[in-house]
Amino acid sequence: MSVASASARRQLSDLGPVAQLRAGRLARRLPQLAVGLVLYGVSLAMMVRGALGLAPWDVLHSGFIRHVPITLGQAVVLFSFVVLLLWIPLREVPGIGTVANALVVGISADATLALLDQPDGWTARIALLVVGVVANGLATALYIGAQFGRGPRDGLMTGLARRTGLSLRLVRTGLEVAVVVLGLLLGGALGAGTVLYALAIGPLAQLMLPWCTVELELTQPPR
Residue 119: DSSP 8-state = P
Q: Tell me the CA distances in angstroms from 118 to 54, 72, 112, 123, 209, one per residue in order.
A: 14, 15, 12, 12, 30
Burial class (CB in 10 A: 0-12, 13-18, 19+), 67: exposed
Q: Tell me the CA distances in angstroms from 68 to 61, 185, 186, one per residue in order.
A: 10, 14, 11
The whole model's pTM is what?
Answer: 0.89
Q: Which of 192, 177, 44, 25 is nearest to 109 (CA)?
A: 44
Supply the pLDDT for residue 219: 57
Q: What is the tens place of the pLDDT at every residue in 36-78?
A: 999 999 999 999 999 999 999 999 999 999 999 999 999 999 9
Whether 8 and 209 have beta carbons less than 8 Å apart is answered as no
Supply the pLDDT for residue 6: 41
Q: What is the tens place of the pLDDT at every residue in 5-46?
A: 344 345 777 788 898 989 889 999 999 999 999 999 999 999
